Amino acid sequence: MTKPQLPHHLILAFLIHLTLSNAVVSARLFPNVSSWLPDYAPLGGAWDAFRNFTGCHRGDNYDGLANLKSYFQRFGYIPHAPPSNFSDDFDDALESAIKTYQKNFNLNVTGVLDDATLRQIVLPRCGVADIINGTTTMNAGRENQTAVFAAAFARWAEVTSLRFRETASYFGADIRIGFFSGDHGDGEPFDGSLGTLAHAFSPTNGRFHLDAAEDWVVSGDVTRSALATAVDLESVAVHEIGHLLGLGHSSVEEAVMFPTISSRRKKVVLAEDDITGIQFLYGSNPNYNGSSATSSPERDSSDAARCLTRARSSFGLLTLLTFAFSFFALL
């Protein structure tokens, strides 16, 4: 079969030109491994000094950590800033960069410069950044993260007439989810590990922010995590989605809308109080077979009426809401 010919104006010609002159730096090229001279002593790797940081963690101050920050900036893990601004303090920005790096390279996500992380960092590598304009193609865990949020939305959809659909248009979505660190411009800065885990803004704002400094557990049994600071991602997602839909906090400890949750705990099943509140706002799913009480002693009727008015004025009669992700910080 005759191969189709490209139009001449679409044909690109590439010319590879090797110039051997005195102006070109000579490379050390060995025809084969037996060509090494007996007295040849190669220099150490460019980043071998980073091995001295083994065990460093947030709060430490160690000579040379500013150079490691420059490394992470070079490959996209720390936003661009003058290198002279980097200190030798192991701060939140460095911890966040290390966690993102560990996720990208399938390492245990600890935020600590452990042996495995440093062995990976000092390896020879490509000079192209891993993260460009806030996005990466490396993180194999991204699909797992989106699955967690989809499961969290499904818990609310199960008991209401609401439906949720993921969209690729972040700024066009009704609900926008992202991980952020420290002061991220919304007037509610994050505070590092534990403390404030996340926040969401009630309708129709649609912003849902999570603290990238947390030790988020995406899959597996969080109750058996070796990390005392492990936080279950789905548990927090279910709670914050409740706020996105117009619910406030509950005084019922079993409810997902209770304000606090301890580390290494999973809490994703809607309690009767959660179901009562959300169905008051949006009605019941006709296919839902569980309990759907019409009132709750924990809710004041006037408060519920105000909440209902706000939610209806925000979302109108919508039954389909779109959500999108921006994984700038967690990646």
Instruction: Cite the active site residues.
Output: 240
Residue-wise over 68-86: b if at least 16 C-beta within 10 A, else e? bbebbbebbbbeeeeeeeb
Percentage of the chain beyond pLDDT 90 is 41
| Domain ranges across the chain | 44-121, 142-326
Note the pLDDT tens digit of each residue in 129-164: 988 766 666 765 667 788 899 999 999 999 998 999
Instruction: Say what the pLDDT of residue 126 is.
Output: 94
- For residue 277, which phi and psi values (nearest 5 degrees)? -65, -45
For residue 70, give every residue at least 6 positions away whose Cβ sits within 8 Å of its Cβ, in sequence order, or none.
83, 86
Which residue would you say has higher pLDDT here, 304 or 191? 191
DSSP tag of 321: E
C-alpha to C-alpha distance for 191 and 294, rounded to whole angstroms: 39
Residues forming the annotated binding site for Zn(2+)? 126, 184, 186, 199, 209, 239, 243, 249, 257
Average pLDDT of the segment spanning 303-320 = 45
In whole numbers, what is the pLDDT of the chain averaged over residues?
79
Q: Which CATH number fits domain 44-121: 3.30.56.10, 1.20.1070.10, 1.10.101.10, 1.50.10.10?
A: 1.10.101.10
C-alpha to C-alpha distance for 151 and 261, rounded to whole angstroms: 19
C-alpha to C-alpha distance for 37 and 44, rounded to whole angstroms: 17
Note the pLDDT tens digit of each residue in 271-305: 999 999 999 999 999 889 875 343 343 444 344 44
Instruction: Say what the pLDDT of residue 29 is.
Output: 65
247 and 277 in contact (C-beta within 8 Å)? yes
Architecture of domain 142-326 in CATH?
3-Layer(aba) Sandwich (3.40)
Instruction: Say what the pLDDT of residue 307 is.
Output: 44
